[in-house]
Amino acid sequence: MHPILVQIQVVYALIMRETRTRFGLNRLGYLWAILEPMLFIATFALVFRIFGRVAPERMPIVPFLATGFMPYLLFRETSGRGLHAIEANRGLLFYPQVRPLDLVLARVLLEIATSFVAFAIIVGVYCVYSGQFEVADPLQVVIGFGLAAGIGASLGLILCAASVFSTLVERLHGPLIRPLFWFSGLMYPTGHLPLAYRTLLSYNPIVHAVELTRAGYFRGYRADHVGVAYPLMWIAILAFLGLTLERVARRRLVLS
């Protein structure tokens, strides 16, 4: 059998296995996947209301926050789940056709699917509730999520491979990722910032993924300062590093 077919078979089996452990262990599993972003959005919608703020340009608050949080969460989850991929699946690496790369791929694909379903449910429910439904450019929303997942996945692969060499990676991951929550334009449109700050934030590839998602969702949303090319460059570099490191890590992997 061709190696690529074997790999597809393995990744599919791993997705089925991850579905069990990600959602199946307690009955609230599926619910939690939707509840977490909902809690984020509800909290910040409440904060906006308390301080008497409305979303910029009178965008509806729930889609405004959802288009920010959910690509960000997708990035955070894919990178974090990549980091812990080996630790959670060490036993399965005994099967020679299962490699660390497959573990990361399976987790990322499942995370993307989960994120899309959660986004569709949250936005869908809101649309039914508010009676308004318009997505300016659905394809661009998909691209925004895709870029967020791509950055998270390639970073996750680096972290996964690096975790073979040092436990330091796990300690550093949280403190390094957390500030991005405030600097990724989740609760403010970066287009409204002073030029100096906007330029600074534009170095963060997550900003591009978030703003592209928003521009895809809201008609007339100003996102001229972001583009696909810059995050794609990040993905290319991170993926190259990740794939290289995974090759090295695969040889150094100690199973028991």
Partner 1 sequence: MIVLNEITKTYPTLNGVNVVLKGISAVFPERKNVGIIGRNGAGKSTLMRLISGSEQPDSGTIFRRGRVSWPVGFSGGFSGSLTGAQNARFVARIYGMDIDAVAAFANAFSELGEYFYMPVKTYSSGMRARLAFALSMAIDFDVYLVDEITAVGDSRFQKKCRAAFDDRRDRSTLIIVSHDMTTISNYCDTCAWLRNGQLHFYDTIEEAKAAYECYGP
Please give the residue ranges that form the binding site for partner 1 (CB under 8 A). Answer: 1, 6, 9-10, 12-14, 16-17, 20-21, 25, 88-98, 250-251, 253-256
Q: How far is the CB of 40 from partner 1 (least distance, A)?
A: 27
Please state, in angstroms and rounded to a whole number, the distance separating the CA atoms of residues 239 and 82. Answer: 13
Q: How far is the CB of 244 from partner 1 (least distance, A)?
A: 16
Q: How far is the CB of 18 from partner 1 (least distance, A)?
A: 10
Task: Select 92 or 177, whichever has its Cβ closest to partner 1.
Answer: 92
Task: Select 9 or 199, whichever has its Cβ closest to partner 1.
Answer: 9
List the one residue out of 77, 98, 63, 106 whose CA is nearest residue 180: 77
Task: Select 91 or 227, whichever has its Cβ closest to partner 1.
Answer: 91
Q: How far is the CB of 256 from partner 1 (least distance, A)?
A: 5
Task: Select 34 or 93, whichever has its Cβ closest to partner 1.
Answer: 93
3-state SS of the chain?
Answer: CCHHHHHHHHHHHHHHHHHHHHHHCCCCHHHHHHHHHHHHHHHHHHHHHHCCCCCHHHCCHHHHHHHHHHHHHHHHHHHHHHHCHHHHHHHHHHCCCCCHHHHHHHHHHHHHHHHHHHHHHHHHHHHHHHCCCCCCCHHHHHHHHHHHHHHHHHHHHHHHHHHHHCCHHHHHHHHHHHHHHCCCCCCCCHHHCCHHHHHHHCCCHHHHHHHHHHHHHCCCCCCCCCCCHHHHHHHHHHHHHHHHHHHHHHHHCCCC
Task: Select 74 or 162, whichever has its Cβ closest to partner 1.
Answer: 162
Q: How far is the CB of 32 from partner 1 (least distance, A)?
A: 16
Task: Select 19 or 193, whichever has its Cβ closest to partner 1.
Answer: 19
Q: How far is the CB of 5 from partner 1 (least distance, A)?
A: 8
Residue with tokens 């307690």: 26
Q: How far is the CB of 169 from partner 1 (least distance, A)?
A: 17
Task: Select 177 or 253, whichever has its Cβ closest to partner 1.
Answer: 253
